Amino acid sequence: MAKWNFKVVLAGDGAVGKTSIREQYMGKGFSSDYLKTIGADFASKKIDAGENQISHQIWDLAGQESYQAVRSTFYKGAIAGLMVFDCQDPKTMTNLKDWIDEAIKGSDNGILVYFIIANKIDLVDERRVSREMALDFCNRLSTETGIRFYYCETSAKTGQNIQETFEFLSFKLLESNNVKDLVKPETPEGIIDTKETEKILEDVSGDLVSKEEFNELLTKVERIENKLETIQKIIKKIVEKLE
């Protein structure tokens, strides 16, 4: 049986659910050394994939800006990048551009497989980033960087698509290392190869919306939501006084 050691980095802003995704995949009993002073959490898991035994060495990188200066160390030797955002917060998605730039530089362009993961899809009513918006973002990143991204939607709370994501990642990593006689699995329903999509975000005139216009639109939406929240609080206070 061939043995493989794959270093995987989990990256993205703080509180997007990276650690919860890792815990869902590995369970609560995994062995982990928490390196709080340098902003990374390491864990490993072995799985069998046909005639191959894979050891996933997963580095969960802290999202806080205070750790930015030391994070580049943990990208060295990485072969896969799981870039996570919170589908309730559009900024965590657009911030992935900086995370991917950091991963490219830190790994010396050594990462072979990238996933962009929209987490917390169980919070349906709070969702603010649609699948179409996320796919458009992925396509823009692909055009800018030349990287082929795989997009998936997960719930670290329910476990939705977590196992499938890592199983598909294992196959893609073996494929990237030119392993022969692999049985190609069907692409899970929750995973999309963005190279095969042509979804674009269009404005009312049919013209392609630029990145700047897209970000400006997100800012306007956030301002409107903040105003609506303020109005709701005022109405609530008025109702309480009337009662």
Determine the average pLDDT of the residues in 116-134: 95
State pLDDT tens for residues 158-177. Answer: 999 999 999 999 999 999 99
Using an 8 Å Cβ cutoff, are 147 and 96 in contact?
no
* pTM of the predicted protein model: 0.79
DSSP one-letter code for 139 = H
**pLDDT above 60 for 201:** no
Looking at per-residue pLDDT, the higher value among 228 and 100 belongs to 100
Distance CA 196, CA 198 (A): 7
Cα distances from 78 to residues 13, 86, 113, 187, 237, in angstroms, run 19, 23, 10, 23, 53
Residue 235 banded pLDDT, cuts 50, 70, 90: confident
Looking at per-residue pLDDT, the higher value among 112 and 204 belongs to 112
Determine the average pLDDT of the residues in 138-160: 94
Q: Give the number of other Cβ atoms within 10 Å of residue 20's Cβ.
A: 19
**pLDDT above 70 for 134:** yes
DSSP one-letter code for 36 = G
Looking at residue 105, its pLDDT comes to 95
Which residue in this structure is represented by tokens 């049985």?
A: 183
Distance CA 9, CA 42 (A): 9
State pLDDT tens for residues 19-64. Answer: 899 999 987 644 455 555 567 888 889 999 888 999 999 999 988 8
Cα distances from 203 to residues 127, 200, 207, 210, in angstroms, run 21, 10, 6, 10
Say which residues have a Cβ less than 8 Å from residue 209's Cβ, sequence separation at least 6: 201, 202, 203, 217
State pLDDT tens for residues 54-71. Answer: 999 999 998 888 788 888
Q: How far is CA 173 from the centre of its chain?
A: 17
